[in-house]
């Protein structure tokens, strides 16, 4: 304790330890949050890639089906 006050010394020590703990764990918490955001962004990127692949496959199947249809007014 720095100097005597009207507050119980155990209370000031507990508050000081809490503040020190918060300051000491802040860099780790920030890094964890950054990694979670990066992981989420990568996941969204992969979801978008899969969605584009599915849309492309659907379009390719529709084009193939249209190409396989006999032409109207043609000879068969």
Own/partner pairs, 28-35, CB within 8 angstroms, 24+ separation? none
pLDDT at site 39: 97
pLDDT at 66: 93
pLDDT in the model for residue 17: 79
What pLDDT does residue 2 have? 59
CB 29 within 8 A of CB 36: no
Q: Which two tokens stand for residue 10?
A: 């155990």
Residues of the chain with pLDDT under 70: 1-5, 73-76
pLDDT for res 71:
81
Q: Which residues contact 4 (CB under 8 A, 6 or more apart)?
A: none
DSSP state of 70: P
Q: Are 1 and 12 in contact (CB under 8 A)?
A: yes
pLDDT of residue 14: 78
């Amino acid at each position: 304790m720095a100097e005597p006050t009207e507050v119980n010394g155990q209370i000031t020590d507990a508050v000081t330890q809490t503040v020190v703990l918060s300051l000491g764990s802040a860099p780790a918490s920030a890094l964890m949050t950054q990694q979670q955001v990066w992981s989420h962004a990568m996941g969204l990127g992969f979801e978008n890639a899969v969605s584009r692949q599915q849309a492309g496959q659907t379009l390719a199947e529709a084009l193939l089906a249209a190409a396989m249809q006999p032409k109207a007014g043609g000879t068969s």
